[in-house]
Structures are given as structure tokens and as C-alpha cells.
Structure 1
Amino acid sequence: MDATITLDLVLFLFAVASVAGFVDSIAGGGGLISMPALLAAGLSPVQALATNKLQGAAGTLSASVYFISKGAVNLREIRLPIVMTFIGSMMGTLLVQRIDAGVLEQAIPFLLIGIVLYFLFSPRLSCDQSRQLISLPVFAFTVALLIGFYDGFFGPGTGSFFTMAFAGLLGYSITSATAHTKVLNCTSNLASLLFFIIGGHAVWAVGLVMIVGQVIGARLGSYVVLSRGEALIRPMIVCVSLAMTAKLLWSNYGHLLQ
């Protein structure tokens, strides 16, 4: 790590983590805010990925605990999706260390555009539950496993993917889908983080500063989810997905315009 830990850097990273935790607990995509900040602070790409998982896991854990304590999530009911998400993320994290993730990176902006269109035009996403299309075990062995794998392998948009799947396939209300998303997102973060820690890539001095901000931001965002629900979650997911799409498209194809 080339960065020097100064008071200004500590305050900057704390503020960034607070905003990222708030946004991530509502709509996902907090990494869009925290990753550039970590790279700007002087971390290598691998260190930034590992440290982002460290502080992101704290944020999703804080949000998950809040939702569980408020009765929005029953862990016993979703224990199978939790297990399959963990396995998927573990597999993705192991695989990404062996192959180039560039092909997947090229495809993600277009998947995010699909999410935006779905959230804008689908009548299924509301404050009320709708018809369930697949069973929870099928969801666990397909959707949870695949999205967990994706989060361990690459990551951007994981929260949006989970929320869309809970709402569109299991018929959850948008508020309930967001609450359950945080639990599975926390699971995939912890699984991925475990292997980054084993590899010695996490920068703990930076990560611990950002954890404090993440916990505060995530707790505030979780409160907003339960109090505002559909009025805020839907536009936030659309805005965050569009922002991630623009960033990834610019990273992949911006050189063609220069």
C-alpha cells in the first residue's frame, strides 16, 4: 500500500463509507462509491477489492441485523438460500483468482440496463406481495447460488440482482425484497472476504475506519427502507443501476470516444 494514513484521509474514507453504506442498504451499489475512493487512497486493485469487501461486509451485516431485529427477515425460513449464496460466493472468489474476469465485466452494463427497465416498467414491484413464480428451494439452488457466485467473481449490481429476484420470482414486496437482499448480500460478502483475508490482501487500518462509517450509514439506510419503502427504494435502485452502468460503460468503451 502506497497511501499514508493521515487525518484528512481518515475523515474522507469515513464519509465515503457512510454514504456508501446508506446507499447500499437501500438500493445496492455502494461499491460504486467506495471502490474509487479506495483506489484514490493509494491501494492496489487487489487491496481495494479486499478492503471494500471488509467494509462492505460490515455495512451489510449492520443492515441485516437491523432488519432481523425488526422482524422483516426470518433467518430460519431462508437458511437454504443463505447456504447456497455462501457456496456460490466461495466458488466465484476462488475462480476469479485463476481466470480473467474481463469478459463478464463487458456484459454487466447491459444486465444493469435490464434491471433499470424492469424496475421502471414492471407492475410486480410494489409495497404488496405478488404471485410467487418458483419455490424457495429452487430459488436457493439456482438464483442464490448464481448471484452468490457472481458477487464472489465480480460484484457490481449484486444487491440489485437479489432484490429483483426476490420481488420478481418469489413475489416479495419491494421492502421485504430489500431486507432479504441484505442478508444474502452479507453472506456473499463474508464468504468472499474470508478468502481475501486468507490471501492477506485486506488493508485493516483503512478497512476499520470505513467499517465505522459503513455501520452508521447502513443503519440509517435500513431505517429509511422500513419507513419509506417503495417511495424511495425503486427510484434509488434505478439511479444506482444507471450510475453503475455509466461508469462501467465508460471504463470499458470510453477510450473509443477519446
Structure 2
Amino acid sequence: MDPQILALLVLAASAAGFVDAIAGGGGLITVPVLLMAGLPPDQALATNKVQGSVGAATAALAYARSGLVDLRRQTRSAGLAFAAGLAGALLVTALPAQALRIMLPVVLIGIALFFAFKPGLNDLDRAARLSPAAFALTVVPAIGFYDGLIGPGAGAFYMLAFVALAGFGILKATAHTKLLNFASNIGGLTAFALTGHPLWAAGLLMGAGQMLGAWLGSRLAMRIGARVIKPLLVVTSTALALRLLWQMI
């Protein structure tokens, strides 16, 4: 691959890592750039999983070191997210993914409206609507399966679930999202490695950019909290929805 194209991919991955560490939606940046670089769609999605996994892992470790999340307590949930992501990617050709793609923009706009207009959303915890066990056994596999099947918006879905169902404050929800996003990414990558032939060298170079962006994004989120996470989540969810709608026209 041309060095200038590689440099563009690494720059895009840095920006995506920054956005993804705060609000999710980094694939909105990296997948189009990979397609513009000439990769076929299946290889672009597979390569995106490589670099996205690095960014999610970096953000998860940064939030863990700050004390916002105990990764060891999430290992079982992460295992479920991995299995669901693997299953989603393996079944990508057997399920009506197009129907899900049609529904996705509507759901993303709903997420943006929820965070934009729901009063009282801040960094304080609220009463949970699901027990931790019920959340892990239902919500986590459902979003992990979606992450493997389609992918874009999975981080925002994890975030919304932690806020609306687990009762987490926005910063805490962001911190708890990252290990699960990493696990479902790795599950999807495992399947894509067998069928999609990711460009490992390009993906790992982009991963270096993801590490930098994710580290900067997570530090900014920890300093400012809901004041930066809420607006960025609204913007990224709306932008991803508009992009998907544009693709359907």
C-alpha cells in the first residue's frame, strides 16, 4: 500500500480513536476511509475490526487505571460479548442484515434525541432497571451480536443500555462500555480472519493511531465527563445515521 495512503489511514484511526473513546462511532470515520483506499467492503470491515480492537482495549485500560471500572468484574460479560460478536459475524450472510441496516438510522437518531433532550443525564448513578446478571445475559449478547453482524453504532448502544437500564452515570457508562466493545470486536475479528482476510499490517498501523486517539479521548472524558460525552454522542449518532441514510438513496 502506498505510504501516503497508510499515513492517511493512521491519521483517520487517531481521530476515530479519540471519538470512540468518548462516545463510540469511530467506525463512521475509519470504514469510509478504508473503502476510499480501495479495499473491498468485506476486507474494509475486517481491517476495521483490527484497528478498532486496539482502540477499545486502550480506552478500557485507561478507564480501568483511573478507577472508573474494574475489568476483572466484567470478564464474564466480556466472554458473552465475544461469543455473540463471533456468532453475528459468522451469520452475517445468513440473516436479513439489510433489514437491520434500514432500522439502524432510526435507532441511532433515537439515541441522539434521548441524550440530547432527556433531563437529568449526568455523571450520577440512578436506580437500575435490570440486575447486573439480567443485563449481562440479555443486553450484552444482543449488542455483541449486532456488533459482529453489522458493527457501526455498537458503542453507542452499549452506552445507552448502561445509562437507561443499568442506571450508570454517563462517565461510568462510557468506562464500562469499552471492554465489552473490545470483546465483541475481537469476536467479529475472529470470524472475519477466516473469511474477510483483514490487512493485518495496515490494521495494526492504524491501531497505533487508535491507541493515541483513545488515550487522549479517554483522558478528556475523565476530566470533563458528561459535558463532553453527551454532545459528542449526539453528534456521532446523528452523523452515522445520516451517513447510513445517504447510502440507501
In structure 1, how many angstroms separate the alpha carbons of the residues matched to 2:212 and 2:223?
A: 17
Q: Aligned partners of 1:10, 1:109: CA distance in 2, in Å?
A: 30
1:1-258 to 2 correspondences below 5 Å = 5-199=1-195, 201-252=197-248, 254=249
Question: Match for 2:78: what amino acid?
Answer: I
For 1:42, what is the secondary structure of its paired residue?
A: coil
Q: Distance in 1 between matches of 2:14 and 2:104?
A: 26
TM-score by length of 2: 0.96
Distance in 2 (alpha carbons) for counterparts of 1:251 and 1:118: 24
Give the Cα separation in 2 of the matches to 1:83 and 1:6.
38
State the shift of 1:78 in Å: 2.4
Greater CA deviation, 143-152 or 93-102?
Answer: 93-102
Instruction: Give me the CA root mean square deviation.
Output: 1.2
SS at match of 1:170: coil
Following superposition, the deviation at residue 200 of structure 1 comes to 5.4
Query: Are 1:125 and 1:168, in contact at CA under 8 Å, matched by a contact in 2?
Result: no
Q: How many Å separate the matches in 2 of 1:250 and 1:200?
A: 25
Name the % identity: 45
The structure-2 alpha-carbon separation of the partners of 1:200 and 1:156, relative to structure 1 and needing over 3 Å to count, comes to closer
The residue type equivalent to 1:106 in the other structure is I
Mean Cα deviation higher: 41-50 or 66-75: 66-75
**Partners of 1:134 and 1:170 within 8 A in 2:** yes
- Alpha-carbon contact 2:126-2:168 (below 8 Å) kept: yes
Report the Cα offset of residue 127 of structure 1: 1.3
User: 1:14/1:120 Cα in 2 relative to 1: closer, same or farther (>3 Å)?
Assistant: same
**Cα offset, 1:198, TM superposition:** 2.6
Aligned letter for 1:203? L
1:135-174 per-position Cα deviation (integer Å, ceiling 9, x unaligned): 0110011100100000000011111110111111111110
Number of aligned pairs?
249
Give me the whole-angstrom Cα distance separating, in 2, the residues matched to 1:108 and 1:147: 12
What TM-score does the superposition give when structure 1 sets the normalisation length? 0.93
Cα deviation, 1:97-134, whole Å, max 9, x if unaligned, reads 33441111111000011101111122352111111111
Please tell me whether the aligned partners of residues 42 and 196 of structure 2 are also in contact (alpha carbons under 8 angstroms).
no
Q: Supply the distance in 2 between the matched residues of 1:160 and 1:84 (Cα, whole angstroms).
A: 18
Question: What letter matches 1:181 in structure 2?
Answer: T
Greater mean alpha carbon deviation, residues 115-124 or residues 171-180:
115-124
Task: Return 5+ residue gaps in structure 2 as ranges.
Answer: none
Q: Which deviates more from structure 2 when the two are superposed, residues 160-169 or residues 79-88?
A: 79-88
> Take 1:136 and 1:99, find their aligned partners in 2: how far apart are those partners?
29
Task: Please list every run of at least 4 consecutive aligned residues from structure 1 whose deviation after the TM superposition is greater than 4 angstroms.
Answer: none
